[in-house]
Amino acid sequence: MDGQHPGRQPALVEMGAGIVSGGTIELVNVDKHYGDLKVVDGISASIGAGQFVSLLGPSGSGKTTTLMMVAGFVLPSAGRIVVDGSDVSRVPPRKRGFGMVFQNYSLFPHLNVFDNIAFPLRLRNVPNAEMGERVQQALDLVQLGSFGGRQISQLSGGQQQRIALARAVVFQPRVVLMDEPMGALDKNLRFAMQTEIKEIQRRLGMTVLYVTHDQEEAMNLSDRIVIMNHGRIEQIGAPQSVYDLPESPFVANFLGEANLFPGVVTELAGAQGVLTLDDGTSVRGPVATGVGKGSRAALFIRPERLQFAAAGSAGAPDRNAITGTVNRCSFLGSYRRYGVEIAPGLQASVDQPNTEAMALFAPGSRVELRWPAGSGRIIGTAP
């Protein structure tokens, strides 16, 4: 597991009367099972102060259960949850002091906006004068400064989401947990809210643990992404790291589009190797951890890293090349996606920017696909 950002100092939150540092979270061999059903399977991860970390995975991967265990609504079957050095595994949710934003916002329909935001302050017996100041600061923070007297029923989905966020941060929590808070918003509004949430998190310095199944959302928001599958952590890393350097076919396919060309590792020299594809073509590239000579593996390459060249034309010696036949072309706005058959039953996807200088290839065209050896990665396949 990768650790905190090297040299990163604890972030500071300043809002209202005090200054606090963002919290750290440590999951140590955390397990959750219901009878014979293991929902979370011995996961460990570290979240540094002030980091925005997303739990990303398909439905049933265990990400929401993990968040609920951190929140205290679900007790782990085994392992420890450590916050700022203290084991909180059996501490009730109300005593953990976390802010929480749910997918359905969970606002109180009988209370107006002010009273919804003030609710956690009243639970903490904050004096009325200070309460009014903090609520107004929270409203200003989410750009709804004049909405205090409105009813929840008068708000749009995006406004309700902002009020839920204001309520989560108004009492200056060290940690804020978010469970797919933008799942009910349309695509354009979701992207705008991502930008606002990230800016608020950056300004306040709070630690955020965020659950999503949306790959673009995770990459846009996160300092690090925890990719989960079947209750286990497949990989942890910065967005660009997990996108460019997947450790498994699952991560490669789940996080964006991926080409995987199967073969056998025939040469291995340090971190570099040669993969001989099933049709006899040899390609070179960096080798993922645990892949050995003679093992079945796959060459991973993103569609946007492949480039077209006329078949048979001269290429640079540090580039891989595969010959194939174009069999489809889809117009997708800013780019075109080509399908290229490189062997019977083996298809490559190629993304080409939609520019005036772009060459078009009709179905049936014989082409050569090239890419720098360092742009791909030889990764292990499932046994």
Domain endpoint, select from 244, 275, 299:
244
109 within some domain: no
| Segment 38-84, tens digit of pLDDT | 999 999 999 999 999 999 999 999 999 999 999 999 999 999 999 99
Digit-by-digit pLDDT tens for the chain (383 residues) are 443 333 333 333 445 444 446 899 999 999 999 999 999 999 999 999 999 999 999 999 999 999 999 999 999 999 999 999 999 999 999 899 999 998 877 899 999 999 999 999 999 999 999 999 999 999 998 889 999 999 999 998 888 988 999 999 999 899 999 998 887 677 777 888 888 888 889 888 899 999 999 899 999 999 999 999 999 999 999 999 999 999 999 999 998 889 999 999 999 988 899 999 988 899 999 999 889 999 999 999 999 999 998 655 555 656 899 999 999 999 888 899 999 999 888 999 999 988 877 778 889 989 999 999 889 999 998 65
Domain boundary among 195, 217, 244: 244
Tell me the whole-structure pTM to 2 decimals.
0.86
Q: Give the tens place of pLDDT for each residue, 71-111.
A: 999 999 999 999 999 999 999 998 999 999 988 778 999 99
| Same domain? 267 vs 177 | no
Average pLDDT, the chain: 88
Looking at the structure, tell me whether residues 187 and 312 fall in a common domain: no
Q: Give the residues across from 176 on adjacent strands.
A: 99, 208
Residue 112 forms part of a structural domain? no
Q: What is the pLDDT of residue 316?
A: 60
Q: What is the pLDDT of residue 339?
A: 95
Q: Is residue 230 part of a domain?
A: yes
- Tokens at residue 299, please? 């060459």
- Flag whether 254 is in a domain: no
pLDDT of residue 184: 66
C-alpha distances (whole Å) from 368 to each of 185, 260, 348, 373 are 42, 17, 11, 15
Contact 279, 291 (CB under 8 A): no
Do 357 and 280 share a domain, yes or no?
yes
* Residues 363, 287 share a domain: yes
What is the structure's pLDDT at 8?
Answer: 37
**Residues 233 and 271 occupy one common structural domain:** no
Domain that holds residue 331: 259-380
Integer Cα distance of 113 and 152 in angstroms: 6
Whether 159 is covered by a domain: the verdict is no
d(C-alpha 318, C-alpha 314), whole Å: 12
> Domain of 320: which CATH number?
2.40.50.100
One domain for residues 290 and 340: yes
In a domain, 123, yes or no: no
Number of structural domains found in the chain: 2
* Domain edge (last residue) among 212, 244, 276: 244
d(CA 53, CA 27): 13
- Whether residues 229 and 369 fall in one domain: no
Residues 76 and 22 in one domain: yes
User: What pairs with residue 53 in β-bridges?
Assistant: 209, 224
Q: Are 50 and 241 in contact (CB under 8 A)?
A: no
Q: Does residue 218 sit within a domain?
A: yes
Please report, for residues 5, 29, 96, 147, 359, the alpha-carbon distance to residue 49 in angstroms, rounded to integers and kept in the order given: 10, 20, 16, 32, 48
What is the predicted pLDDT for the residue at 310? 61
